[in-house]
Every structure is written in structure tokens, then in C-alpha cells.
Amino acid sequence: MILIGELSLWVALLMAAWGTTAGFAGAYTRRAELIASARRALFAMCGFVVLASIGLWTALLTSDFSFKFVAAYTSANLPSVYKFTAFWAGQEGSLLFWALILSIYATIAVYTARKSNRELMPWVVPTLSAIALFFILVLCFGANPYARLDWIPPDGRGLNPQLQNPGMAAHPPNLYLGYIATAIPFAFAVGALITRRLDAEWLSSVRRWVLLSWFFNTVGIVLGMWWAYVELGWGGYWAWDPVENASFLPWLINTAFLHSIMVQEKRGMLRKWNVTLVVSAFLLSILGTFITRSGVISSVHAFSQSEVGYWFLGFLIIAIAVTAYLVSTRLSDLRATAELESMVSREATFLFNNLLLCGIAFSILWGTLFPILSEAVCGTKITVGPPFFNSVNIPLGLGLLALTGIGPLIAWRRASVRNLRRQFTGPVICGVLVGVALLAGGMRAYYSVMSYALGGFVLATSLQDFQKGTSARHRMYGEPYVIALFRLVARNRRRYGGYIVHIGVVVLFAAFAGLAFKKEFDVTLRAGQTFSAVDGFGDHWTFVSQGVSDYDELNRHTTAVLLEARRNGKFVGMIKSEKRQYIDSQGNPTFEPATEVGILDKPHEDVYTVLAGVIGEDTAEMRITFNPLVWWVWYGGMIMALGGLIVMWPQAERRRAQAGYVAPLAPGFVHAEAEAVS
């Protein structure tokens, strides 16, 4: 099977090359047999990439250390589940994983669109084949997972302990699923630009893929935050690390697109902008991959550096040049078909929402790349860390939070004073009350106060709409409130799924605002010694060290310290934090010691302990951190993902049309609609 896998990679390369060449030639000359051949080559490529992946998984699970990749990322005593996930732990395997997901996505996209987008598909197929060809080329010539060692070592090096965590098993696949999904909209955009069929048809195909990308990116980012929090031990979930930033950029752009596409669907506006966003999301995914793999920017969780990054730089340059040319030569075809009627309208609000999302994306990209720029211009090495990103992005984030509440309730075209009063009186009062109550309660972290006040406002706008819709159904159909609420959401998934996402955003902002009340202590405790502290909520905590212990487990030697925790004199639990020295099957240490943090988690606060070192036999050096509202990050993420799922869930066209959200399919439809209304 391994040999079949190895050979399959080369056959997949040929298939991708043929799919690209025949596809572009067929699309250009309009020769049906070449177009069909390219499509079949893409399907075949997918099959061979699947075989290549199965081959690598077989090598990993059977510990075939003749392969460099297997020896570098696994060991004989590694649990099987981590042998499986080691597939994406290293450069070569993760690139094959990219190619695998891309080819599966491409096959699904081409197969499902076979009866629609007839003009576009001949260009979409070779574009997707070309992207796949790039990845398989890198695999074959830059980072081959099937590269063999000159000798067979008795055991492998093992998997980095920090990757031996369930979060890390799930976080990268989700991020990849999100990243790679941007390739499909990109291919459709290229097809639409080449054929100049820039009506709403291609956008309706693209929207689902952008949603899919957004969904997996959301899940992947939140899982990554969770992994960083429980595994890395520095006490937080987001460090503005370059690789984290790179994963966030496509998410921001996809979020902007999911809002601005509504303006195009409803009003026929922002056509140039939407094409630009679709293309940018893909280019930023490639840029993120370049940052992760090239080592041009120092990052805690970059892959080991190699020349592969420069392949991505070359690909990025070509992709930018091609898309810049296509967009610039099609500007006249992208002219808006409707006009703005008022600055106080939903479309204007969405435009500002896009401005802020792209502003945040720019500031993050700028901050990430600025050390390179600074060194190139001034020759000075600098660090751009969390203080920079926080000071720039907190005000922008708060502005975005405010628009999250305003956007959905303001009317399309032109909002009347009556509309504004009816929709916003309650939520504004709610937000003001929250802010005043917090200030009266003594809260002086002003960004946090603003965050909670705006959160109250946004929550009220969303709940108000749920309440109005549910009450209306209850009155009209006599449905009980719970059934009415369920059917309200089910019949208009896009709208109410969106509101659920917004509620998730509010929960996340509430969690972020809680960081202002984080407290941390650097303590040294001998067995039996006590440490007392007051947390951000004013509770008195006492920690009693139970001493330090050493013991061996499956593939590691562990040093642990146990603390008895009491809040306001009442026992609340034991907290154990560990340092683990992983060993191979010969008993030799592998990697540097890894942290296993101790967490006593409650909905309002986590007590987070890290064993920093041991002095003598029973004295532990520790950091104890009170982290408020961390649970809310995970729940906020889950609520957002749930909202995304509801939005994505297929809905019958008839119902969607009733809900007023069906994308107009015929060219010029939007224009006709606009005229009919005016």
C-alpha cells in the first residue's frame, strides 16, 4: 500500500498537469472533448491523491522508519491516534493533507456544479487543477513525504509533546479545511472574470464555499485558542503570534464578504468589491501558508523552516499578478447596477462593517510584516507584540461590535426616523443601562465597560428580533412560543443563524473584556506552605502545596505539583500541574520538557497554575493566574459555529425565496428588481 501511495503521488502530478493544460486549452478553444478530459483528470487526480494519503497513513501507523517523515514525527511508543494525526504534524505530511482536501473539495465543487455555471466551469476546472498542480509539485520536488533515509533507525524521533493533545489533533484539519475552501471561490472568481460573466450566478455558487471556509476557520481558530491555553502554558489563548494572525486574516475577509454579498444580492452593488474579497481571501491563505512555512517571521508554532516557503512566495506573486490583471481589465463589467438612496441604510452600514473588518485585517497584516519592513528600511530588528495589536485593534473591534447591532436592524435603501426609533430605542436603553451599572459598580477599565455596554446593545437588538418574530408566529398561527421560535429559525436560517453568530460574537467580546481583570502571581511553595491572593472578583483564595512528585508514565517522565485550593475558606478542588519529559522506546529523552497546566475551571473564572521549576526536592516555582471568563471564549466560539451551521444548512429554494434571500440568478435581475421598487 505504501508503494502504491508513493507511485500515486507521481501519477497525481501527471493528472494535475494534464487537467491544467487540457483544461485551459479546452476552455480557450472551446473544445468540448478537452474540457471533459480535464474534468475527468481532476477526478482521477483526486483518487490518486487519496491513495497517496492512505499510503502515508499506512507508513505512519506501521512505524515504517525507512521514511524520513515517519522517523521525524513518530516513535514506536507513540499512541496510535497521534501516529494518525502526525500526518499533518510536519511540513511534508501537512502539504499532502492540503492537496488531499483541495482535490476532494475540487471534485465536489466540479461535480455539484456540473449542471450550472456552464460557461464558467471550463475555466474553473483548470484553475483548480493548476492550484493542485502547484501543491503536488511542491510535494514531489520540495517536500516529499515519501523521501527515504539511507539507513533505518531503530526508533523515530517522536511527536513534539505539545502536539500530543486532542486540540492539536483537531485544530489543524479544521484550519486547513477553512483555508483550502477559499480556493473554490477563487477559481469561480477567475472563471467569472475570464468569461466576464460577473452576474449574481457565480456568487450564489461561491457563497456556500465561503460559508464553509468561514465555518471551519471559526472552529479551527477556537480549537487553536483552546490548545494554546491548555497546552502552551503561557496563560492566554491568543498571543498575536504571526501564525495565529495568518489564520485570522482569511476569516476577517470571509466575514466581510458574507456581509457585502448581501448588498450585491439585494441591491446589485459592491460587485468589484466582492470579487476583490473572494480573491483576497485565497491570496491571504497562501500568504499565511508562506509565513508558516518559510520562517521569514519568527513564530512559536511555525513549521521547521525550509525552502518550501519560497515556492509559496512564487505562487503568491503569480496569483497576485494574474488576478490583478483580470480584475483591472474587467472593471467596466463590474459596475454597480443600483444606486445608494441614503447614507442611513443597511447597505451603507454594511459598507462601514466591511471597512472595519478590512481595516482590522490590514492592521494585523501590517503589524505582522512590519518587523521585516523595519529591518529592510532601517536595519533595526524590532518586535511587534501583543501591546501593539491590542492598542490598534481594540477600538476597531468595538466599532465593529457596535455595527453588529446596527446592521441587521436598519432598513435597506433608506431608514426612516420612525424605523430607527422603533428598532433601536430598547437596545440603546439596554446598552446604556449596562454601561451605567458597571460604572456605578466601580468598574474603571473603560474599554471593558464599552465592550459590555455595546454587548448589551447588540444582544438586545438580536433578542428583540427573535422576540418579535416569535410573537408574530404565535399570534398568526397559534403556535406555542418554543415551537414558534424553532420554526422562525428553521424557516429563515440565514437571518436567524446570522443573529446567533452575532450573539456568539457578543459572548466572545465579553470574554475578551474580562482579560482586563486577569491577575497573576509568581510564587514559590514548599510542601505544606500556603499562598493567599484576592482575584478580580474580590474572592479570597488560599492555595496549599501538597508537595512535588515524580513518576513515569507510558512515554514520559512526569514531575507534578498538587495544590489544594480554597475560595473564601471553602474547599473547591485540587489543581495539578506537570512538567513532562518525553522519552523514546529506548528510554532516551526526546524534546525539551513540556508543560501540562493545571486548570480549575468555573464559568466566571479559571484558576490556572503552571509549574515553572522545582528547587531541591519539594519546592515548586509556580505561576498562579486568575483568568476571568475564559469559558465564555469556548462557548462564544461554539455559539458562532452553531450559527454558521444553521446558516449553511440547506434550505428549499421556495422557502428561501419566501424569506427574501434567494440570490437572483438571471443577469440583470437585480437591476430590474431595483427599478420595480423605485
Partner 1 sequence: MPTRRQFLASLGAGIATASLARALPAQQAMRGMNTGTANVPMNENAYHKVELPSRGTGPSMTNVQRDALEHKIHCQCGCNLDIFTCRTTDFSCQVSPPMHRDVMALVAGGYSGPEIIAAFVKVYGERVLMEPEKHGFNLAGWFMPFVALGGGTALVVALLRRWRHPAAEPERVTELPVNATSDELARIDQLVRRDDA
- Residue ranges in 606-625 that form contacts with partner 1 under rule CB under 8 A: 610-614, 621-623
Nearer to partner 1, 342 or 529 (CB): 342
List the x/- string, 541-580, binding to partner 1 by CB under 8 A: --------------------------------------x-
Of residues 503, 527, 545, the one with CA closest to residue 635 = 503
Nearer to partner 1, 622 or 633 (CB): 622
Nearer to partner 1, 539 or 621 (CB): 621
Told to check if 520 binds partner 1 by CB under 8 A, we report yes
Beta-carbon count within 10 A of 436 CB: 12
Site for partner 1 in 585-604 (CB under 8 A): 591-593, 595
Site for partner 1 in 437-476 (CB under 8 A): none
d(CA 616, CA 613) in angstroms, rounded, equals 10
Told to check if 363 binds partner 1 by CB under 8 A, we report yes
Q: Which residue has the cell 516555582?
A: 621
d(CA 630, CA 601) in angstroms, rounded, equals 8
- In this structure, are residues 296 and 236 in contact, taking their beta carbons and an 8 Å threshold? no
Site for partner 1 in 368-427 (CB under 8 A): 369-378, 380-388, 391-392, 396, 413-414
Nearer to partner 1, 126 or 367 (CB): 367
Please provide the size of the chain in residues: 678
Beta-carbon count within 10 A of 32 CB: 10
Please state the closest distance from residue 162 (CB atom) to partner 1, in A.
5
Please state the closest distance from residue 103 (CB atom) to partner 1, in A.
26
Nearer to partner 1, 43 or 362 (CB): 362
User: Which one of residues 328, 441, 444, 650 is an interface residue with partner 1 (CB under 8 A)?
Assistant: 328
In the structure grid, which three cell numbers stand for residue 391, read together? 492598542
Told to check if 300 binds partner 1 by CB under 8 A, we report yes
In the structure grid, which three cell numbers stand for residue 301, read together? 508554532
- In this structure, are residues 202 and 189 in contact, taking their beta carbons and an 8 Å threshold? yes
Residues 6+ apart with CB under 8 A from 431: 405, 453, 454, 456, 457, 460
Alpha-carbon distances of 67 from 48, 221, 485, 518, rounded to whole Å: 20, 31, 56, 47
Contact segment (CB under 8 A) with partner 1 among 53-61, 95-103, 190-198, 364-372 equals: 364-372
Nearer to partner 1, 142 or 367 (CB): 367
Site for partner 1 in 149-188 (CB under 8 A): 160, 162-163
Nearer to partner 1, 47 or 236 (CB): 236
Site for partner 1 in 230-269 (CB under 8 A): 232-235, 239, 241, 269
Q: Residue 294 gets which letter from DSSP?
A: H
Of residues 644, 674, 660, 666, the one with CA closest to residue 262 = 660
User: Which one of residues 28, 111, 141, 325 is an interface residue with partner 1 (CB under 8 A)?
Assistant: 325
Told to check if 340 binds partner 1 by CB under 8 A, we report yes
Nearer to partner 1, 337 or 470 (CB): 337
d(CA 213, CA 410) in angstroms, rounded, equals 28
Residues 6+ apart with CB under 8 A from 88: 94, 97, 172, 173, 176
User: Which one of residues 76, 149, 316, 420 is an interface residue with partner 1 (CB under 8 A)?
Assistant: 316
